[in-house]
């Protein structure tokens, strides 16, 4: 197994968790975008059959986010596990078309965001404003589309042939 399969998934989720923890100076209505960044990585790596992303890494990243942002303990850990479950169910679907995959990802982000809103509302014992959560989901979808576009552009085409130099007899 290579480092791309074993180390990169956990490191990318951890790096995005640290990015979500940092004070970026965003207005309070836009702060929900950052904790959804690891959700995008969780979805991507869970859908990749070759990648190894254990559930305990997700739980610890969510717990780290809760502790360092002084949020309700276990809230984001639970949200990240729900994101993992959504990605597992999406990976088991038979949808292979690009539009279908986008629809699955959009459904997963909306499901995870709705769950995060419900969990936060239950914690505070009142229905919270849904607009910051919806805004966060929208920006997470846009950022994920940009990353996917960059990956498609950076990937070499299948029609390109490699040059093999051999020494003659």
pLDDT in tens, 71-125: 899 999 999 999 999 999 998 988 888 888 889 999 999 999 999 999 999 999 9
pTM exceeds 0.95 for this model: no
Q: First vs last Cα of the chain: how many Å apart?
A: 36
C-beta neighbour count of 71 within 10 angstroms: 15
pLDDT in tens, 20-32: 999 888 887 788 8
Quote the tokens at residue 133: 């959560």
- How far is residue 54's CA from residue 21's CA, in Å, rounded to a whole number? 21
């Amino acid at each position: 197994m290579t480092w791309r399969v074993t180390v990169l998934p956990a490191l990318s989720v951890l790096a995005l968790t640290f990015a979500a923890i940092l004070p970026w100076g965003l207005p309070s209505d836009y702060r929900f975008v950052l904790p959804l960044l690891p959700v995008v990585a969780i979805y991507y790596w869970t859908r990749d059959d070759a990648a190894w992303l254990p559930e305990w890494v997700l739980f610890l990243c969510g717990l780290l986010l809760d502790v360092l942002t002084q949020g309700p303990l276990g809230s984001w850990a639970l949200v990240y596990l729900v994101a993992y479950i959504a990605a597992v169910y999406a990976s088991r679907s038979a949808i292979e078309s690009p539009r279908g995959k986008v629809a699955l990802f959009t459904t997963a982000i909306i499901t995870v965001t709705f769950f995060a809103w419900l969990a936060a509302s239950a914690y505070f014992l009142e229905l919270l404003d849904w607009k910051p959560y919806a805004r966060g989901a929208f920006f997470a979808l846009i950022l994920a589309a940009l990353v996917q576009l960059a990956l498609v552009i950076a990937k070499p085409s299948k029609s390109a042939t490699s040059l093999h130099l051999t020494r003659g007899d």
